[in-house]
Amino acid sequence: MDLIANFEHQHFAHCESGVMATLLKYHGLPLSEPMVFGLSGALCFAYLPFLKMGNMPVISYRMFPGYIVKNLPRRLGVKYFRRTYKNPDLAMAQLDEFVAAGQLVGLQTSVYYSPYFPPEMRFQFNAHNIIIVGKEADEYLVSDPVFDHLEKIKSADLKKARFARGFSAPKGLVHYPLVCPDSLDLEKLIRKSIKKTVRMMLYAPLPWIGIKGINHLARKVVKISGEHNDRYTRHFLGNIVRMQEEIGTGGGGFRFMYAAFLQEAYGIIKLPVLKEASDRMTAAGDAWRMFALECVRVVKKGCASEDLGHIARSLKRCGENEKQIYRMLKAVK
Amino acid sequence: MQKPQPSSLQPEIDLPGIDGGDNIMKIKEVPQDDIKTFRGYGTKTVYAVDENGQYTRVSTSGWDAEEVVLRDVVNDFEKAAQDAKVRAMKGEASPIEYFMNKYFMDVPALAAGMGLARWRVKRHLNPGVFNKLSDKLLQRYADFFQVDIHTLKKFKETI
């Protein structure tokens, strides 16, 4: 059995930031998951009515999948190895070489081909992230950050999972840090990343992104029952909640994780505004959870038109909460 | 398709609000609802604040709210799969329709996963067209659904 030495599995809230935190820590750059998430500037809100998945518009509470793996290394000044493959056999052979050499690598996989997931969650989602930590006969040992212990996957399944087709196809992506800097100027990185997140959430010049996106969605919610049947309305609201709570978030649509980042940032920079913003971000996360409960009530009990008005108002409130936080964070320069 | 009644579709569970008056996600307020989807598969982790106001990771056995919205989608697919199965037995539907719904896909998702055009997949849902499909294409469908090709070809006997 090949098992990478000194590897300790950690359970994280989100696959991509979890994989990144694990890989960086293993290469001598210990950053917490919220720090990885925050420094990447991965917090977002996007409502993309023209992009449908399962007949529902895409709603996301963070940047698109793959953003952290692509952007964080550059920001941190980490030399990073990324490779995609055309030939699945070559990809698997190289993976075996990595494992044999004791190299910890991250892979992008499809949930549909990962049998260790609960069957109800095996949708066509191609941008899941895992780490391979060993091989035992025909099975790979997988450190999947959103599971609480090491999992196993058969080599044939893994091959399919790495070469699933469709939206955001992984194309066998393998990645790992090559050289990490000895130290990081965390203060500068934090300031830069907060600035970027604030700019995007407040001033993205598109109606679907940031606070504008939240309000856009709220306006849509009011109109929805007039345009579609009850079943569609239920699914539409359910979809908002699923994207917020279930799809690799760890609850509150990533707001709690960002609050944890702001708290950690306050510990490093000691700017009072960061502490205040962290507390408010926690409250914003709670507001998102209350909003989710309101949607779920409609999904369970059926929809009356006044409910939708109420839900839209809650959603606008979520947007307003966050707007105030980002305005406050403009003080961080 | 007939309109499902929301009440009969949903699992009968109680949905409490978020406990506590103050607006802070405390450890004790992290939902521990032991949802069915996670049973046997472990827990997930969320961020919450401890009694000193410090953020920390907390394991959770799930939240009923997320379970309700997941079941809502899953139930619809399961119903559609069952319906397709009955019709496929009578030769009125293509087995592909059954497997598509069984694995929570619609036509665009199946087409993307198979690497085919949507209009082709849509045609393959017609039993007449399905019966004439080449073994090569059937094998691709079988690989995608992770079943034996005979399950597709001799659907009536094998399922």
Q: What is the ipTM metric for this complex? A: 0.90
| pLDDT exceeds cutoff 80 at A109 | yes
| pLDDT exceeds cutoff 50 at B148 | yes
CB proximity B107 to A under 8 Å: no
B33 vs A13: CA distance, rounded Å = 17
For A319, counting Cβ atoms within 10 Å of its Cβ (0-12 exposed, 13-18 middle, 19+ buried), the class is buried
Identify the band that residue A224 occupies on the pLDDT scale cut at 50, 70 and 90.
confident
What pLDDT is recorded for position A1? 54
3-state secondary structure of B61: coil
Q: How much of chain A exceeds pLDDT 90, in percent?
A: 77
Spatial contact of A34 and A264, defined as CB atoms under 8 Å apart: yes
Q: Which two tokens mark A255?
A: 């707001």
The amino acid that residue A159 corresponds to is K
**Cβ <8 Å between B55 and A289:** no
Lowest mean pLDDT among A53-62, A92-101, B98-107, B113-122: A53-62
Spatial contact of A177 and A81, defined as CB atoms under 8 Å apart: yes
CA dihedral A19→A25→A29→A33, nearest 10 degrees, is 50
A295 vs A308: CA distance, rounded Å = 9
CB proximity A228 to B under 8 Å: no
How would DSSP label each residue in A314-332?
A: HHHHHHHHHHHHHHHHTT-
What pLDDT is recorded for position A299? 87
CB proximity A276 to B under 8 Å: no
Q: Which among B8, B26, B32, B69 is the top mutation candidate for probing chain A, defined by the most A β-carbons within 10 Å of its own β-carbon?
A: B69
In Å, how far is A283's CA from the nearest CA of chain B?
5
Nearest to A285 among B4, B25, B109 (CB): B25
Q: What domains, with CATH codes, occur in chain B?
A: 22-62 (no CATH), 68-158 (1.10.260)
Spatial contact of A59 and A71, defined as CB atoms under 8 Å apart: no
Bridge partner residues of A153 (DSSP): A140
**Cβ <8 Å between A54 and B115:** no
CA atoms in the 13 A half-sphere facing the CB of A327: 7
A12 vs A257: CA distance, rounded Å = 11
In Å, how far is A149's CA from the nearest CA of chain B?
8
pLDDT tens-digit readout, A28-79: 999 999 999 999 999 999 999 999 888 899 999 999 889 999 999 999 999 9
Residue A130 CA: distances (Å) to CA of A15, A109, A232, B43: 7, 7, 34, 17
Helices B95-102 and B107-114 sit at what angle, rounded to 10 degrees? 100
Instruction: Average the pLDDT over A241-254 and give the result.
Output: 80
Residue of chain B whose Cα is closest to the Cα of A169: B113
Count the Cβ atoms, other than its own, within 10 Å of residue A181: 12
Nearest to B106 among A11, A54, A242 (CB): A54
CB proximity B44 to A under 8 Å: yes
Q: Which residues of B touch A284 (CB under 8 A)?
A: none
| pLDDT exceeds cutoff 90 at A196 | yes
| Dihedral sign from CA coordinates of A161, A164, A169, A174 | positive
What pLDDT is recorded for position B10? 39
**B86 membership: H or E segment, kind and range:** helix B64-89
B43 vs B33: CA distance, rounded Å = 11
Record: fold of A2-30+79-179:
Cathepsin B; Chain A (3.90.70)
Q: CATH 3.90.70.10 in chain A, residues?
A: 2-30+79-179
| pLDDT exceeds cutoff 50 at A22 | yes
| pLDDT exceeds cutoff 80 at A113 | yes
Count the Cβ atoms, other than its own, within 10 Å of residue B125: 18
| pLDDT exceeds cutoff 70 at B11 | no
Q: Which residues of A touch B42 (CB under 8 A)?
A: 147-149
Instruction: Average the pLDDT over A299-313 and give the result.
Output: 83
Residue B24 CA: distances (Å) to CA of A311, B37, B61: 21, 27, 20
How high does pLDDT run on average in chain A?
Answer: 92
Instruction: Name the more confident of A278 and B30.
Output: A278
